Amino acid sequence: MTNYMTKKTFERLQERFASLLKVEKPAIIKEVKTAKEHGDLRENAEYHAARDKQKVILAEIDLLFERLDAVEFIDDLPIPGDRVSVGTVVLLKDEDGTELKYTILGPEDSDSDQNIISILAPLAKGLMGKEKGDKVELQLPGKKKIVEIISVAPYFN
């Protein structure tokens, strides 16, 4: 499955991946070994905690590897900006006349404080392929909402 993300996010995730491989994984291996040396593993809480932590670290490494391996950079996509797609900024007006602006990017780029939503979010899915002037009924958690698309523009110029 293609994983859309910006180059900036890719670099951040690569740094995290490198830290996991070079720092956290060796440290937890050492921690597990040290805890194991404390004796009876059935009653060794330190050992079980270290093994649980190791499982989490290894799972994160696997997940990041998959995501980084299947990346497609949003920055490089040809986004005309006439229709809502990944890599677009959408200005909406709801029934009350309130304007809402969202940027649609990949899941790892999401930032609710900046109104950056994932292409996988229900709101984004409801807007995909629509264009300026379209009225869209969105099924949001717990309610339906009708919005009009005021403008669509590429996120990257």
- The amino acid at 57: I
| pLDDT above 80 for 141 | no
Closest C-alpha to 57, from 26, 34, 33, 35: 26
Phi, psi of 65 (to 5 degrees): -60, -45
pLDDT in tens, 1-38: 789 999 999 999 999 999 999 999 999 999 999 888 87
Instruction: Give per-residue pLDDT as tens, 64-108.
Output: 999 999 899 999 999 988 999 999 999 999 989 999 999 999 999
Domains, in order of start, for the chain: 3-74 (1.10.287.180), 79-154 (3.10.50.30)
Q: Are strands 99-105 and 3-5 parallel, antiparallel or unpaired?
A: unpaired
Considering the entire predicted model, what is its pTM?
0.81
Nearest to 119 by CA among 137, 103, 106, 135: 106
Angle at 109 between CA 132 and CA 63, to 5 degrees: 135
